[in-house]
Amino acid sequence: MVVQALGSATTFYRNADEAVAQRESLGVKRFRLQGTVVPGTIVQTGDGVTFEIAYNGVPITVQHVGDPPEMFKENQAVLLEGHFVADGSTTYDSDLMIVKHSEVYKEEEADRLNQAEVNGNVPVTTVRSGS
């Protein structure tokens, strides 16, 4: 019983190229997906945003529910949590988005980030649908 509970509580992640290659075995299981936002693909929707991410040149269409973080933009690395849609395509439904801060932010906020590292805080922006 404990193993089953731990297994369902663990969310693993894949780069976009790995997720596409493993599409059939992933099914509609929840996992984290990493990639970079493809320029020209961001479209606001009534309940969120759709866009493409790519990793090693392999794209995935993302349907994100909720407002994206303020730092969300083209060519931005993102980590998403969700699952592939049930129709067998490589469209991914997301309800959690984490955006990495840029190197410029790191340089401008070096003291603050060093203090955050000492205290165990990670400098990312996270938005979960419904928050």
For the stretch 28-62, pLDDT in tens is: 999 999 999 999 999 999 999 999 999 999 999 99
**27: which 2 tokens?**
């099914």
**pLDDT band at residue 115 under the 50/70/90 scheme:** low
pLDDT at 100: 77
The long-range contacts involving 42-50, CB below 8 angstroms and separated by at least 24 positions, are: 42/73, 42/74, 48/129
With a cut of 60, say whether residue 17 has pLDDT above it.
yes
pLDDT at 11: 74
**Domains, in order of start, for the chain:** 2-128 (2.40.50.140)
Q: pLDDT (tens digit, 9 = 90+) per residue, 85-103?
A: 999 999 999 999 999 765 5
| pLDDT tens per residue, range 56-81 | 999 999 999 999 998 999 999 999 99
Cross-strand bridge partners of residue 31: 82
Over residues 7-21, mean pLDDT: 82
How many CB atoms are closer than 10 A to CB 98? 18
- Tell me 67's DSSP state: P
Q: Measure the CA–CA gap between 88 and 43, rounded to whole angstroms.
A: 22
